[in-house]
Structure 1
């Protein structure tokens, strides 16, 4: 269960609506949570707890899939606003999604029981808001 938590901010911007009135989109802070349950196939370095095997194999890889829950902000473009710097978004609202997730990556043995792991993953939402989630990570594991 590689749990991911994030926080962020959407900066404030102004634009002009169709009638020429100034529209202000205030600063908003948001929260994000990804909670997948993934079953991985592991091979090579770090795949087992046997020390001799991990010393001999310096590279390993993994791939798998499962089910994930995502909670995060969804922004909607303000259709009635014209802005020379691009679209103006309304305040984000927290929405949740459940979907299928797949991940793959590789790990390198750095010595002394530590592994450097690179992972990419993708979640395809099966719920109403169709929030597809892409992620990439670099992890130092023991």
Structure 2
């Protein structure tokens, strides 16, 4: 499944030359939250680069295929009493890395749907498939040396169906209009962990 996913991703990345009507891309910042029944919710600050290709267009709408790649980091400090023993005070911190690579098919209307569109606002929604990789490094107190020491690293890869929707707001002159995109996204892993990944992004599209 993973090999097929990456093969499709590479093919779409190189499709601009062969069949693209129009290519556009954007970059922005956002937040991502990972949660499941058996793990604590982890939030990350993410940077997103979002290239997309319009494969079908009308004057005010389009169907696009995109790969909104997100990379992020998290830093969490924990302090409190242990669940196993209420008299034991436990503290430490963890740092994390997240990589999210979805392949999305979107229906776009209004601003940002096609080059030269004069609308001030636009909307989009779509679905696809995503791969999510996350690494967490845990550090615990050290009584005999530095204040904290590395204790554990956990790396997990998950994949599953994904969906996104959002709005675009046109900015700039009518002749050289760009747009600001506000987007939410959701991924549901099909692995045994049943990981959920929710994202909120704000991008500037060129």
TM range (shorter): 0.7 to 0.9
Q: 1:60 to 1:25 in 2, by over 3 A?
A: same
Is 1:18 aligned to residue 85 of structure 2?
A: yes
CA contact (8 A) 1:120 1:136 kept: yes
The range that moved more, 23-32 or 126-135, is 23-32
Matched residue of 1:127: which SS? coil
Q: 1:105 to 1:19 in 2, by over 3 A?
A: closer
What secondary structure, in the 3-state scheme, does the structure 1 residue paired with 2:157 have? strand
- Report the counterpart of residue 47 of structure 1 in structure 2: 113
* Secondary structure in 2 matching 1:11: strand
Instruction: Give the equivalent residue in structure 1 for 2:125.
Output: 63
For residues 1-142 of structure 1, what are the structure 2 equivalents within 5 Å? 1-16=67-82, 17-18=84-85, 20=87, 22-49=88-115, 51=116, 54-55=117-118, 57-72=119-134, 93-112=154-173, 113-142=177-206
Structure 1: which 4+ aligned runs deviate by more than 4 Å? none
What is the root-mean-square deviation of aligned Cα atoms in Å? 2.4
| CA–CA distance in structure 2, aligned partners of residues 24 and 91 of structure 1 | 15
Q: What is the TM-score of this pair, normalised by structure 2?
A: 0.53
Q: 1:38 to 1:19 in 2, by over 3 A?
A: closer
Task: Summarize deviations over 1:15-45 as a string: whole Å, max 9, x none.
Answer: 355384x353422211111110001111111
TM-score (norm 1): 0.75
CA distance in 2, matches of 1:73, 1:128: 17
Aligned pairs, number = 123
Q: Give the superposition deviation at 1:12.
A: 4.0
